[in-house]
Structure formats: C-alpha cells, structure tokens
Amino acid sequence: MIISNRIKNQQLLWRAAFGPMAENSAELDNISQAKLWALLLESSAKEPTKITVTENLMDGLVKPPKETSGGEESTTQNNAIKKQIRERSREDLKNLNIRWLEEMINSESQLREKMSLFWHGHFACRVVNSYFQQELLHIIRSNALGNFGDLLKAVSKSPAMLQFLNNQQNKKSHPNENFAREVMELFTMGRGNYTEEDVKEAARAFTGWAFNIQGEFIFRRFQHDDGSKNFLGRTGNFNGDDIINILLEQKQTATYISRKIYRYLVNDKPDEQKIAWLSSRFYNNKYDIKKLLEDIFTSDWFYAEKNIGTHIKSPVELLAGIRRFIPLAPDNDNSQLLVQKVLGQVLFFPPNVAGWTGGRNWIDSSTLMVRLQLPRVLSAKETLNISPKTDDDVSMGQMMEDRVRIKKKEAIVARGGAASINWAPVLKIFESVKREDLSKKIAESLLQSPSRVPQQVIDNFVDAASREEFIKTTIINLMSTPEYQLC
C-alpha cells in the first residue's frame, strides 16, 4: 500500500496534536513531514498561559471555618459553608475542564496540549479541590515538553498529588506508604522492579512532605524520619528528593516512560526493539521529553502502514478532533461534559490512580453507539435532513423510524445538545475539487483507517441537492462511521 503525503501528515497531526484544523487541511497534500513537525515544535515553544478559574480555597477545604459561636447552630452553619465551598469547587472544576478542552481545540500549541493530556493521565489525580487541580494542570502544561525529572519533582510536590496519595498523613511516627508506592509503580519504574522493603524505606524518606493552608509545598522537618534508609541497593539518610533522583538513575524508568509514550503516540502494540532504542536515547539525553518526541516523529517507522489508523481515539481526542475540522460553538458547555462522562473520560476525574487504560477499553456496545451518533447530534440544527433515501414500501416502515430519529434530534437541539457550525473554512478545503472527486477527497481528509466506507453507502445518506449540502452531509456521515474512531 502506497501511503500518501496527506495520510502521513494526518498521522502526525492526530498523534502529535488533535487532528487537522479546517484552515490548514488543504495544505496537507504538499507540506513535508519534517516541515510540519518543525511548525508543531515552533508553535508549542512558548510558555503556556495559565488557565485560572479559581482563587485559593484552602480555608474551606482543609480546615473548617472558624466558629463564631458555640452549639448546634454554629455546627450547622459551618457544615453549610463547607458544603457550599465544595459545590463551588465542583463548578470550578467543570469550568477548568471546558477551558482546557477549548485550548486543546483552538490553541496553536497543539503538541504541548497533546502531551499535557498524556501526562494528565500518567499523573492521574482525583481531588475535588479545584485550586489544587488548577495548579497541578499548570505544572503539567508548563513542563509537558521539558525535562521529565523536573516534571516528576514538581508533580510530586504538588498539593493535589500529596493529598490524593495521602502523603499529608505520612509522618515519622506513622508512615503512610501510598505515595511512595505509586511514585515507583505508576510514575517511574513500573510494577515488579522494586521490593516491598523499597516501598517502606521510600515512605520513610517522604515523611514530612506536606502543604500549608495556602496550598504551597512545605517540608515539616519534625515529622521527617532522618534515619538511615536502604533503597534500591543504596544506603543513606535519604529524603524525598534523593529517592526521586535515585529513581531517575534507573534505566528502567526511561524504559517504562518510553514504552508508555510509544503506546500513546505510535501503536498500542509495543515494538520492544524500537522502545529499547527510544529509552536508551531518552536516558542518555537526560530525560529530555522534546528529544524523545523528535526521535519518534522524525523516524520513518512512525509513518509505516502498521502504525496508521490503529489508534482508537479517546473521548477527548474524538471530541476535539471533530471540533477542529468543523469549527463549531456548542449551544451548551454542559453537553461537552456529558459526552465525556458517557464516553468514559472526564478531565480531572480519572477512574483510579492508574488513569485511563485507553485502547480497546474506550469501546463497548454502549459507547460505540454514542460515538457514532455524536457528529449528527452536534450538527443536528443544520443537518436534520440526514437520513437514508429509501422507498417505504421496500423498507417496511423504516421511513417512519427515520422520522422518529429526526424528532429525537430536534429534541436534542431543544435541550442545547447541538452547536452552531462555521462551515466556511470547511467548504474552502474542497473548493478546487471536482464534484465527481468530492467523496474520495473528503474521505481521504477524514479517515486514517485502511478500510473505506463503500461509496454506495455514502450516496444513500448524503444530500446531493447542492455542492455545499453534499460536502456537509458527507462529512457528518463519514464522522459517524466506525472508521472515524481510528487515527
């Protein structure tokens, strides 16, 4: 199979970003992968602007409000205040979710945001405190393309992670092993590369790591175990920074991270030979994330047929990709939160400490149906006429089912589940394409899967009344196929 220049560029944009933007899709036939990679690097070079949705909420979330009077009335008042603060924090988390999703869709820093989504899953953290989550997100976005060691240390000292993994309760007299265990199992070396004794000794080193009422990292030296520790064959009076440095000295850490990034960016089926090469260079380059990505995206094997169209889009990738190709403004932001929830990936709410599993776990009979209906729902206000062209005598009442489906779409629109679409940049992509070549060109622009939707199937669903309607309905229908779930 000969892989076209467009398919290769779309491979790069789907893996290093969130898919082609309508405005630049037409250029993908001619630009080289080297030039496109250079543009991705350049556009993500500047420091990200912090996404701010909340102020410091520590007073209400770490300690109860000061009592102004005694008795049952005061307790009731304090409980009401704390409940109000928690509700406000949940609302702020929703806003943080939407604001970051908008960055993924519209920001020029596509590479930075794509890797931030990876690290968001790698350093999975689920706390209701919106201020903590906001600060952790800024750490991740700021370091997403930098040095893994710097990112690891900053995340490990964030109040969000210290709270989530219970290190606030890790004290000299009562060690808590949760934080130390996850730093090794999930953040660095992976399970099976350390002993239970290593966990216990590392936990002792992390005693005293905590945060104050302002949400700042502090070291409580009187709660720290300053005795000698034995960790991964080393002996010394180690503290938390020492433990992290020792973990970074282990080549297994480079291998673990390289394998996980390979599965995220290249193929869910690991190629151990390629991973060994990547991890060796990652380690020798002192954990430079950008150089690791360059090794991946400038290699010939990244664009090999076996790696194209094999990645199942995560819910966030799917939603962002649709919105990048067909610029749309949702009628209701809550609908985007609902899509994330139904499809199983709500930003800032990972299922557990290991994050989202990904791969085939994104798809089951329920989520697949929602995925296939999503483009039609989003475009329902403007494409309500999308339905099979059938003869009701032949289809035995199927046309009635089609009318019911359209009624359902109208109900979705009424509830704010649809969006307003700016079709102008999309139509411009295909302005020089001959009418008879439109279906093929649109399919090449949307589908990375080696399989193709039969032309007859497309023709049965599109509106051919005008060139504009043909393009619109073809796009929506192709986005509603199983093939579009792959990139």
Percent of the chain with pLDDT over 90: 77
Q: What are the CA-CA distances from residue 323 to residues 154, 317, 329, 385 (Å)? A: 32, 10, 8, 21
Closest listed residue to residue 164, CA positions, set 214, 211, 226, 100:
211
Is it the case that residue 407 has pLDDT exceeding 70?
no
Q: What is the mean pLDDT of the chain?
A: 90
Distance CA 397, CA 450 (A): 35
Domain extent listing, the chain: 5-43+251-307, 58-249, 315-485
C-alpha to C-alpha distance for 110 and 409, rounded to whole angstroms: 32
Residue range 95-118, pLDDT digits in tens: 999 999 999 999 999 999 999 999
What is the pLDDT at residue 83? 79
pLDDT-based confidence at 85, cuts 50/70/90?
Answer: confident
Nearest to 77 by CA among 89, 88, 64: 64
**Has residue 175 got a pLDDT over 70?**
yes
Q: Tell me 486's DSSP state.
A: B
Mean pLDDT within 38-56 = 95
Give pTM, 2 decimals. 0.91
The residues pairing with 328 across neighbouring beta strands, listed in sequence order, are 421
Provide mean pLDDT across the span 287-291: 98
Please say if the pLDDT value at position 393 is more than 70: no
Query: What is the pLDDT at residue 366?
Result: 86
More confident residue, 458 or 305: 305
Residue 97 tokens read as 């979710």
Alpha carbon 334 to its chain centroid, in Å, reads 18
The pair of three-digit structure tokens given for residue 144, joined into one six-digit string: 């997403």
Q: Which residue has the higher pLDDT, 381 or 467?
A: 467
33 CA to centre of own chain: 24
What gap in Å lies between CA 339 and CA 122, rounded to an integer?
22
**Among 20, 39, 100, 6, CA closest to 425:** 20
Asked if 315 and 351 count as a contact pair (C-beta separation under 8 A), the reply is no
* Residue 231: pLDDT band with limits 50, 70, 90: very high
pLDDT at residue 385 greater than cutoff 70:
no
Which residues fall within 8 angstroms of residue 240, CB to CB, at 6 or more apart? 156, 205, 206, 209
Find how far residue 190's CA is from the centre of its chain.
21
Q: Where are the alpha helices (DSSP H) in 206-351?
A: 240-249, 251-265, 272-284, 289-297, 315-325, 333-343
Give mean pLDDT, residues 22-38: 96
Q: Render pLDDT for 323-363 as a digit per residue (tens, 0 to 9).
A: 999 999 998 888 899 999 999 999 999 999 999 999 999 99
pLDDT of 152 over the 90 cut = yes
pLDDT of residue 223 exceeding 70, the answer is: yes
Q: Which range (54-58, 156-160, 238-242, 391-395) has the least confidence?
A: 391-395
**Mean pLDDT of the region 408-435:** 80
Radius of gyration (C-alpha) of the chain in whole angstroms: 25
Contacts of 238 (CB under 8 A, 6+ apart): 201, 205, 229, 231, 246
Chain centroid to Cα 3, Å, comes to 27
Backbone angles phi, psi at 424, to 5 degrees: -55, -50
Query: Can you tell me whether residue 9 is helix, strand or coil?
Result: helix
Alpha-carbon distances of 53 from 9, 50, 127, 138, rounded to whole Å? 35, 10, 16, 12
DSSP letter (8 states) at residue 177: -
Torsion, Cα 315 320 322 325, to 10 degrees, reads: -160
Burial of 119 from C-beta contacts in 10 A (0-12 / 13-18 / 19+): buried
DSSP string, 39-104: HHHHHT-SPPPP-------HHHHTSPPPPSS-HHHHHHHHHHHHHHHHHHHHHHHHHHHHHHHHHH
Residue 82: what pLDDT? Answer: 73
Determine the Cα–Cα distance for residues 363 and 308; give it in Å rounded to an integer: 19
Q: For residue 322, what are its two tokens?
A: 């649709």
